[in-house]
Amino acid sequence: MFYGIFCTFAAYILWGLFPFYFHALADIGALEILAHRVVWSLLFIVLVILVMRRTAWLKDALTSPRILLIFTASALLVGANWGTYVYAIVTDRTIEASLGYFINPLVSILLSAVFLREKLRPAQKIAVGLAAVGVLWISWVKGVPPFLGLALAFTFGVYGLIRKIAPLGSIEGLTLESLILTPIALLWLGYLGSTGELAFAEASGTTQLLLIAAGPITAIPLLLFASGVRSIPYSTSAIIQYVSPSMVFLIGVFAFNEPFTLEMLIGFLFIWTAVALFLGETVLMQRRLRLAARKKADEV
């Protein structure tokens, strides 16, 4: 279990450090950064699956219309999510990006209730309501809804919903998603090159290496997460997942010095209260399930 916690925690730590990476590329256009992330991710993850000898699934996946349809949808969603996140960081809206990932689990609960007909427990309903109040408050304070944060939460929420029915694992799924997105990314990079706007061509060696590093930077946390999350309780992973948005929030406030007013704090307090309620209820429910399973086993 220690190994699982370590790998999962390390994955969220790395995800939490992403703002520093994308901020270092702020002079590059968000769409070009996204295109490089897609292309280099594909190259790196293909190398990984070749080393791991996990290629048997590929032929069946590429010849199955159902799998291709599912993963085309998930690829477009994850591409939109990645692009929105990059745009948020390079335009100094890191705090808003953190908001998206604070409320994402609550959005996922709401989407499951709407589309999968999963019944919300009372505490979950209250948590979703509190998060909604927080978002509405921030919208009123800023005079405009936190569109980037909401886009991050909902694109990733719908992505998670689709991946629930997807027949491939996380590593294989990322490979297929990157494979689907890469032609679009290459077309965009080709267009930028033809118009003389490809920043990669004129960038310093350091910047070029940072862009190429998008491959391992994207894949390594996912590999750690996939390796660790299988061996830890759901309640533990539910808690650990908030390491990443917490780090992103702190980086936005203290490292990037983004404005964070008392009025904004009030909105975030509603959201953090919702998160605390969600986590508390999740831990309690998982404990009850374990006790019930243990009691049933003892009776047998």
What is the per-residue pLDDT across 52-82, written as a single tens digit (0 to 9) for each? 899 999 999 999 999 999 999 999 999 999 9
233, amino acid identity: P
What confidence score (pLDDT) does residue 287 get? 84
Asked if residues 228 and 5 have their Cβ atoms less than 8 Å apart, the reply is yes
Q: How far is CA 198 from CA 107, 127, 232, in A?
A: 37, 45, 44
* Alpha-carbon span 27 to 25, nearest angstrom: 5
45, amino acid identity: I
Give the distance, in angstroms, between the CA of residue 236 and the centroid of all CA atoms in the same chain. 18
pLDDT > 80? residue 15: yes
Asked if residues 268 and 99 have their Cβ atoms less than 8 Å apart, the reply is yes
CA atoms within 13 A on the CB side of 46: 12
Name the band, by pLDDT with cuts 50, 70 and 90, for residue 272: very high
Q: Residues 153, 155, 156, 162: what is their CA dihedral angle, to the nearest 10 degrees? A: 140
What is the per-residue pLDDT across 150-204, written as a single tens digit (0 to 9) for each? 999 999 999 988 988 888 888 899 999 999 999 999 999 999 999 999 999 999 9
pLDDT > 70? residue 300: no
What is the per-residue pLDDT across 40-56, written as a single tens digit (0 to 9) for each? 999 999 999 999 899 99
What is the per-residue pLDDT across 192-201, written as a single tens digit (0 to 9) for each? 999 999 999 9
What confidence score (pLDDT) does residue 299 get? 67
* Alpha-carbon span 89 to 148, nearest angstrom: 10
